Copies of this chain bind each other. A is one copy, B any other.
Amino acid sequence: MAAGVSTATVSRALSGRRRVAPEIRERVQAAAQQLDYLPNGGAKNLRRRVSSVWGLVLSDVENSFFTSVVRGIEEGARAAGYSVILCNTDGDVRREAEYLELLIEERIAGVVIAPVSSELCDVSPLRKRNIPVVAMDRQLRTGEVDTVVVDNRGGARAATWELLDTGALRVGCITGPEDASTAVERLDGYRLALAEAGIGFDPDLVRFADFRQRGGYEAACQLLDRRSVPHALFVTNNLMTVGALEALADRGLAVPDAVALASFDDLYWTTLVRPRLTAVAQPMYELGRTAADLLAERISGYEGPGRLRTLDTVLHVRDSSRRPM
């Protein structure tokens, strides 16, 4: 080598993982600087049989909800010395499976996944290879996996209560796909609130959509075009709320006077919309950060059983739910 030492010594000097004579260390570092040498991470990984990259598998990068989550994960990863490779499955189970395969080929150190479907997502190929997995936002059918979610049921219950509280009797609910645990749990919370209020559950007031704007729009249309228009709508995510608001506007139905509305996800623009939206806030950054921290622990050898972290939600009551009685 340029510094007149063996490659082994260079490795030791630069990685700092072993004792090297200070004088030699300096000479090596100077030479490395000089040649602007940067070690080959791939070769390092191959030899050491580890990787410094995580996989992050999301169903919709464009959803602002995930945006903050991504930031939390990225910061957590960085803090633990990892970088993150981003996989957008676009809600497609097959694409999800393909990405998992890809991540295995990359011999990724660990995976954080917001599964498309709680039922169909199969992380067994990862687990078989001892690649730690953390499920986030949505749970996995196969337990035994560290999981970070929010208190969906509680949040939904609070939002529904708020709507009932302002005198609504017929409250519609637009929720997500039946195989997403978030959709089911939020629907559960809605039912719970109805039950507590002594109001019968009417399945015809519920629509399962796709957590996207278009789906929310169509579901809202169906509910609003019923013979008996609901007094209020509980919409279980931000994009579907946008769609629902469009449907309401189309029909000239004022919020909250004609139809009250409460939703999940409290983003930076919710207070700019008029009326200001009543919404359940999720700790998005925390969700990501917690997932990252759990993953980091697993990677550094923690062996306990699958952990479940449930983060609290907060209902922000604003104008969209305040139906004059």
Q: A67-B64, A104-B38 are in contact. Are A74 and B51 (CB under 8 A)?
A: no
Which residues of B lie under 8 Å from residue A222 when comparing CB positions? none
Residue of A42, A45, A87, A104 with most partner-chain B CB within 10 A? A42
Q: Chain B nearest CB: distance from A109 CB in Å?
A: 12
Chain A, residues 186-225, CB within 8 Å of chain B (1/0): the string is: 0000000000000000000000000001000000000000
Q: Chain B nearest CB: distance from A306 CB in Å?
A: 23
**Residue A83 at the chain B interface, CB threshold 8 Å:** yes
**Which of A22-30, A136-144, A265-273 lies at the interface with chain B?**
A265-273
Q: Which of A75-101 contact B (CB under 8 A)?
A: 83-88, 101
Q: A213-B268, A269-B269, A273-B272 are in contact. Are A42 and B83 (CB under 8 A)?
A: no
Q: A62-B67, A273-B274 are in contact. Are A42 and B242 (CB under 8 A)?
A: no
Contact A125 B85 (CB under 8 A): no
Contact B74 A102 (CB under 8 A): no
Q: How many residues of A contact B (CB 8 A)?
A: 44
**Residue A106 at the chain B interface, CB threshold 8 Å:** yes
* New A-B contacts (5) at CB < 8 Å, excluding given A36-B128, A42-B42: A67-B67, A70-B86, A83-B87, A267-B269, A269-B273
13 contacts between A and B (CB under 8 A): A38-B105, A40-B105, A40-B107, A42-B45, A61-B71, A62-B67, A62-B71, A70-B88, A74-B88, A213-B268, A267-B269, A272-B273, A273-B274
